[in-house]
Chain A
Amino acid sequence: MPGSSAREDSPLRDAELRILLVLAEGENHGYAIMKSIEGATDGRYSVGPATLYRSIKRMLEKGLIAEVEDRPDPQYDDERRRYYRLTRVGRNAVGAEVVRLEGLLAEARKQVWPRASARKSMAPR
C-alpha cells in the first residue's frame, strides 16, 4: 500500500493529520488552526493549545511543516503570531495517510457489510 512505509517510520497522529489538512489550504497561525479544526468538525473535535504546539513541534522536527519567513500582507498580518506552512514532505505525508485511511475504510466495509460490498463491486459501471 502506498505510504505504508512512511506511516511505519513516522505515524501521523489524529491531531497532526487535522493540522496538516488545515495547512493544506494555506499558511496559518496556531490559534487560527485551532479554530479551523473546530469549525471543520462543527465543534465535535477540538485541539487544545498544548496539544497543538506539541504537534507543531513534532511536525517541525519531521519536516512536515515549516515556519513562514516572509510575513503575509501587513494588512492581514498579526505581528504577535507565528505562521506555519505545509512542506512538500508534509503534503506527501497527508496524501499517503489519506490513501491508507481509504484502504482501511474499504477493508472495514468488506468485513462489516460483505454483501453490500460484493453487490457494489458487481454493479455495472
Chain B
Amino acid sequence: MAAGVRQEVDGSAMKPGSHRSAVKLGLNLYRLLFRLFPRAFRKDYEGWVLQAFRDQSCDALERRGFRGLMLLWVISIPDVVASAICERLEGNPMNWKDVFRSSPRSKPVFWMLGFTLATLASFPLAWFAFWALELLLAGPSFDLESRRLLLNANTSLLVSALVLGVCQTLLVRRAGLPAKEWLVTTSIGWFVGIRLASEAWSAHHYWAALFFWQRLRFLMEVSHALVVGVIAGLLIGFAQWLVLRRRARRHYLWIPFSVAALTAHLLAQDGLIGSSLGRWIPPILSATISAAGLVLILRDVAREGESPSAPQNAALAPDPA
C-alpha cells in the first residue's frame, strides 16, 4: 500500500513537493531518540525498529497525509522514550541506595533520578523549615497575621534557597564538586535570581498587559514565562557555573540548561493552570532538565577515589559509533 511513498523515501522517484524530507526528518529524530536505549539493545534491534518506523511513516503519509505523519510522531516519541527508560531500568534493577550513592560517572541514570528527587523534595522541606522558623521566633501563641509581619517574603525565599542548596549539595558532592561552594552559589543564585525575576514579572506584567491586552492573552503568558524564565535561569545558572567552570570541560552548557529548565517550568505552569497536574509537572520538568544537564556536564568529572577509566554504566555515555 505504501510502496509508492516508500520508494520515494528510498531514493528513487521523487515528485516535487512530496513529503520525503518530512519522513526523513522524522526518521532522523527517531534515530536520535533511539540512542536512549542501552547499547546492547541498539546493536541487536536498531535496524529492525527503524525499518518498522519508516514503514509506519510511509503508511501514515499515504493514508492520512502530513497530518497523519504528525500524529504518528506524537504517538511514537513518547513510545520510544518510555521504552528506552523501561529497558534501562530493567537492565539495572532499581536499588534505592544507588540513587543516593551513585555519581554521574558510575550510574548516570540513578544519579539523575536522585538529583531530580532531591530538588523536588526541597520544596515541601522549605515549607516545613519556614513553618518551624516561624514557630521558633514567634511561638505557638502568635496569631497568623503577626507571623506574616515578622517574616516577610524575602525570608521565605531565603529559606527556600538554603534548603534547595542543601538538597542539591547532597547529590552534587557525589559528582566530585565542592559541597560548600555549591551550597553558597546555589542559595545566593536562587535568592537573587527569583527576587529579580519576580520584579521583572511585575514590570513585564504591566507592559505586556498594555501591549497584548486580553485579545492576545496567550502571547502575554508565553512572553511572561520567557522573560521571567530567562532572567531567573541566567542568574541561577551563572552562580552555579562559577563552581562548574574550573572542574568540568562542558561547563558552558550549564547556563543554557538552567535557562531551559526555568523557562520550561514557567511555560508548563502557564499551560497547566487550573489542572491538578499544574502543581507537579512544572517542578518535575525543570528538575529533570537540570539533572540531565548536570549529567552531561559532570560525566567526565571523576570524584575522589573513583578511577578515571570508562564509565561502568553505558547509560548516557557517548556511543563510539
Could you list which residues of chain A lie within 8 angstroms of chain B, going by C-beta atoms? 30-31, 34, 46, 48-54, 56-57, 80, 82
B interface majority secondary structure: helix
Interface mask (B51-66 → A, CB under 8 Å = 1, otherwise 0):
1110110000000000
B residues less than 8 Å from A30 (CB atoms): 48, 51-52
- Does B75 make an interface contact (CB < 8 A)? yes
How many angstroms between the C-alpha atoms of A51 and B41 in the bound complex?
12
- Is A57 within 8 A of B53, CB to CB? no
B residues less than 8 Å from A56 (CB atoms): 45
How many angstroms between the C-alpha atoms of A57 and B87 in the bound complex?
10
Interface size on B, residues (CB 8 A): 21
- Is B56 within 8 A of A50, CB to CB? no
A residues less than 8 Å from B53 (CB atoms): 49
B residues less than 8 Å from A46 (CB atoms): 75
Number of A-B contacts (CB under 8 A): 50
How many angstroms between the C-alpha atoms of A51 and B48 in the bound complex?
12
Closest 8 CB pairs of A and B: A48-B79, A50-B83, A49-B52, A50-B80, A53-B45, A49-B49, A49-B53, A31-B52
Could you list which residues of chain B lie within 8 angstroms of chain A, going by C-beta atoms? 34, 37, 41, 44-45, 48-53, 55-56, 75-76, 79-80, 83-84, 86-87
B201 → chain A closest CB, angstroms: 40
- Is A57 within 8 A of B83, CB to CB? no
How many angstroms between the C-alpha atoms of A30 and B44 in the bound complex?
14
How many angstroms between the C-alpha atoms of A34 and B2 in the bound complex?
15
> Known contacts A31-B56, A34-B56: does B48 contact A53 (CB below 8 Å)?
yes
Q: Could you list 12 A-B pairs, sorted by A, with CB under 8 Å?
A: A48-B75, A48-B76, A49-B50, A49-B80, A50-B34, A50-B37, A50-B76, A50-B84, A53-B49, A54-B83, A54-B86, A57-B45
- Is B79 within 8 A of A50, CB to CB? yes
Closest Cβ neighbor of A49 among chain B residues: B52
B27 → chain A closest CB, angstroms: 11
A41 → chain B closest CB, angstroms: 14
How many angstroms between the C-alpha atoms of A110 and B79 in the bound complex?
36
- Is B83 within 8 A of A51, CB to CB? yes
How many angstroms between the C-alpha atoms of A34 and B34 in the bound complex?
18
Closest Cβ neighbor of B84 among chain A residues: A50
A residues less than 8 Å from B56 (CB atoms): 31, 34, 49
- Cβ contact of B51, chosen from A50, A51, A80, cutoff 8 A: A80
- Is A48 within 8 A of B48, CB to CB? no
- Is A54 within 8 A of B75, CB to CB? no
A residues less than 8 Å from B49 (CB atoms): 49-50, 52-53
How many angstroms between the C-alpha atoms of A48 and B52 in the bound complex?
9
